[in-house]
């Protein structure tokens, strides 16, 4: 499903956050949002997910799919500590009143792909950071929405785990063909993952740069083309701070 957001403007009392922000994501595209800390990336993601209503602008979805087609994954995994891994995975189907037996069968079948097989009865405290993030993403996918809104899912992970998670996420994306809108503060991560990158300015945020990447995957950070694009993005970020 395709996403089209036009002229999104959102102000809180005494705080201008977004100003005429327009972005798009084609069906099956991996889109990243980057920008300085506090510029409104997460706020924009919440608008796209229908959690916040802007004062101006519109979010439209093009193609066949559910009326509310976005599944949102916040920065923290938010796994309930008193529920087992499997019980946490079934939270979405449970809330939506779906057939839990069928949902459990589906979740159990996907555990190997997500590297979680054998941990069905484990509690969140017994899982590594990477496993918790994979569980949170699987919980998001089990909501059966064509668009995933992911808010810095790897921000709290160490560098090695983060790199592993990036490649794993690309594998899951290629398997399920979701449209992904991904917030990150890491320019290199955006370049490794994305088909398209939007750079937001400081508040009130607007789109200061749109970058389309036509580079084969897998990508490595030392690729001269990626190094040049990273320098370009960092230059724009630094210019925005002046």
Q: What is the pLDDT of residues 182-201, one digit of tens each?
A: 999 999 999 999 999 999 99
| pLDDT given at position 239 | 79
Tell me the mean pLDDT in the region 146-157.
90
Model pLDDT for residues 19-44, shown as the tens digit of each residue: 999 999 999 999 999 999 889 999 99
Beta strand 56-62 with 196-200: parallel, antiparallel or unpaired? unpaired
Model pLDDT for residues 39-75, shown as the tens digit of each residue: 999 999 999 999 999 999 999 999 988 888 999 999 8
Return d(Cα 70, Cα 44) in angstroms, integer.
13
| pLDDT given at position 120 | 94
| pLDDT at residue 241 is higher than 70 | no
- Domains within the chain, CATH numbers bracketed: 1-64+180-242 (3.40.50.300)
| pLDDT at residue 122 is higher than 70 | yes
Tell me the mean pLDDT in the region 136-144.
91
Tell me the mean pLDDT in the region 143-170.
89
Q: How big is the chain, counted in residues?
A: 242
């Amino acid at each position: 499903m395709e996403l089209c957001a036009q002229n999104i403007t959102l102000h809180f009392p005494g705080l201008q956050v977004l100003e005429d922000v327009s972005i798009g994501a084609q069906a099956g595209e991996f889109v990243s949002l980057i920008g300085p800390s506090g510029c409104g990336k997460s706020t924009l993601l919440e608008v796209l997910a229908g959690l916040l209503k802007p004062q101006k602008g519109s979010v439209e979805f093009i193609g066949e799919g559910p009326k509310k087609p976005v599944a949102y994954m916040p920065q923290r995994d938010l796994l309930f500590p008193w529920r087992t891994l499997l019980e946490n995975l079934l939270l979405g189907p449970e809330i939506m009143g779906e057939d839990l037996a069928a949902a459990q069968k589906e979740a159990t079948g996907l555990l190997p792909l997500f590297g979680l097989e054998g941990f069905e009865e484990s509690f969140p405290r017994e899982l590594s950071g990477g496993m918790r993030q994979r569980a949170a993403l699987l919980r998001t996918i089990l909501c059966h929405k064509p668009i995933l809104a992911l808010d810095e899912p790897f921000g709290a992970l160490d560098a090695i785990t983060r790199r592993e998670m990036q490649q794993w996420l690309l594998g899951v994306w290629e398997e399920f063909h979701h449209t992904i809108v991904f917030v990150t503060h890491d320019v290199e991560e955006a370049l490794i993952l994305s088909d398209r990158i939007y750079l937001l300015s400081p508040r009130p945020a607007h789109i200061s740069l749109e970058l389309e990447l036509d580079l084969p995957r897998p990508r490595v950070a030392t690729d001269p083309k990626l190094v040049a694009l990273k320098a370009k993005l960092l230059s724009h970020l630094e210019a925005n701070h002046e």
